[in-house]
Copies of this chain bind each other. A is one copy, B any other.
């Protein structure tokens, strides 16, 4: 057994099921090992950002790592943007990166680069393997690092000779570690503060945004009247009819600060402190009222249990009150705009859907409209590195083949990693992409206005415009073998959504806004 085979065997035994791959010459031993040792599914991405974004989506939905297989420094570099998002989502991911043979690398052949320097900014754990004998043990450590709660990115750089030479021993585990519990004193202190606070709020994050965390948070709210908040861009949030509702922090800092102004106690449960996405002159970076912050659980601690303990400490009712039914949106009619798009999707999305929202400005109204939709999971762009939506949807669909996946996708961002459409076709994934075609980087046009540029000049207009030439998304989709339709009215959108959710496999709907 060679080093590469020992890795794949260990991965399989540890319960790792999938490898999102774009290999090259220095990873050929891993490629053959995937055949030699059955049990790990290999999925080809036509660009590394597809592989890493898919691993992020998979990790968010499965709570266990997928592998990626990437080709030296440049291949890894192509995956960095979506690893940045995975890091911010705290997704478990194990990257296998091939490198030149240890004896060849000192000659500085053309593909040589400092992979460690590239990997560190997005990896909680990085190691370069020194010998095929160590490879299995190193891989086991990589998996353990990825499994540290709630999830981390681990990167193992494997020179080609360490893949092909004989393996050593090594054992792996993949079950995610249990997160660290919260001590009772902290819970009691938070309970006391909550009871005394006239205007408290709870900001949930990480695993506390799942069903159990939401229910415990709702118990706390029932006992104390605390507001329940979620970050602007949650990694994974359980939402929909019957589930406790959270207020989403606004994106721009001024309304976010306004929303938190009266909150004298802001309790963090799995979330970090609220920070403005960008810094604007004269606007604070921190959004909460000074002195209001109280930490119940850090993102890597067991926020779900802490919330339950807190609810118990507050003598909250065992069962949270059922939230009142919200009216479903009316079926939209006429011209398309973000509001009509949001209403149409919220109306039609099937129960159990996974909604990956990289809709940017076009996706905003959807979030409110979907409050009354059947229960679903909502996955957002955690790190701001665009090009996340289509790959993340791909990985979520691999993780949950029985659930419908919806990519609510801005056009400018989609262009970064459009190659994901091909993987969706090849793997027959149930992903419906709503491609929001407003033919601009609309958010940047808003930013120009915020910066006081009333009349952008021709270069500023050109650098934020995607209409010259217009991009034909149905042609791009068909180029990758995906059925596609283009809609310009709400009625046509509703009809296309019905069709898309009825038919198996992927489909793209270009929504002209």
Where the two chains meet, the residues of A that have a C-beta atom closer than 8 Å to any C-beta of B are 21, 23-26, 28-29, 31-32, 34-36, 42, 44, 46-47, 49, 73-75, 77-78, 80-81, 84, 88, 100-101, 103-105, 107-111, 113-115, 117-118, 120-122, 160-161, 164, 233, 272-273, 275-279, 281, 285-286, 382-387, 412, 415-416, 418-419, 422, 425-426, 443-444, 447-448, 451, 453, 456-460, 462-464, 466, 468-476, 478-481
Contact = CB atoms under 8 A, between A and B. Distances in A.
A135 to B, nearest CB: 16
A42 B422 contact: no
B277 A426 contact: no
A509 to B, nearest CB: 15
Nearest to A464: B31
A148 B381 CA distance: 40
28 contacts: A25-B444, A25-B447, A26-B278, A29-B451, A31-B463, A34-B457, A35-B456, A35-B459, A46-B416, A46-B466, A47-B415, A74-B81, A75-B81, A77-B81, A77-B385, A78-B387, A84-B113, A101-B279, A103-B279, A109-B277, A109-B285, A115-B121, A117-B120, A117-B121, A118-B121, A415-B422, A422-B469, A479-B479
Assembly stoichiometry (copies):
2
Given A28-B451, A104-B276, A108-B275, 6 more contacts: A31-B464, A35-B460, A44-B462, A47-B416, A80-B118, A471-B480
A77 B80 contact: yes
A111 B277 contact: yes
Contacts of A281: 101, 161, 164
B426 A469 contact: yes
A50 B454 CA distance: 30
B114 A463 contact: no
Contacts of A478: 472, 475
A98 to B, nearest CB: 10
A459 B78 contact: no
Contacts of A109: 275-279, 285
A78 B476 contact: no
Given A34-B460, A117-B120, A384-B74, A278 B25 contact: yes
Contact of A25 (B111, B273, B443, B475): B443
Contacts of A468: 426
A469 B278 contact: no
B84 A74 contact: yes
Pick the most buried of A84, A108, A453: most chain B CB atoms within 10 A of its CB: A84
Contacts of A279: 100-101, 103-105, 109, 160-161
Given A383-B74, A469-B425, A457 B110 contact: no
A385 B103 contact: no
A168 to B, nearest CB: 19
Nearest to A416: B47
A301 B49 CA distance: 38
Contacts of A473: 479
Nearest to A35: B457
Contacts of A114: 120-121
Contacts of A456: 32, 35
A463 B44 contact: yes
Contact of A118 (B118, B416, B447, B469): B118
Looking at A286, A384, A470, which has the most chain B CB atoms within 10 Å of its CB? A384
Contact of A110 (B88, B419, B425, B472): B88
A250 B383 CA distance: 44
